[in-house]
Amino acid sequence: MTIGQNIKKHRELAGLTQEQLADKLGITHSAVSLIENDKRRITLDKLDSIIQALGCKFTDILPEYKE
Each residue of 32-56: pLDDT tens digit?
999 999 999 999 999 999 999 999 9
The domain spanning residue 16 has which CATH number? 1.10.260.40
- Decide if 64 is inside a domain: no
pTM for the model stands at 0.90
- For residue range 18-29, list pLDDT tens digits in order: 999 999 999 999
Give me the number of domains the chain comprises.
1
47, 65, 17, 29 alpha-carbon torsion, rounded to 10°? 30
Which range, of 3-7, 22-26, 30-34, 58-62, averages the lowest pLDDT? 58-62
Whole-number Å distance between alpha carbons of 2 and 47: 13
- Decide if 66 is inside a domain: no
Q: What is the pLDDT of residue 39?
A: 97
- Decide if 37 is inside a domain: yes
Q: What is the pLDDT of residue 66?
A: 63
- Decide if 8 is inside a domain: yes
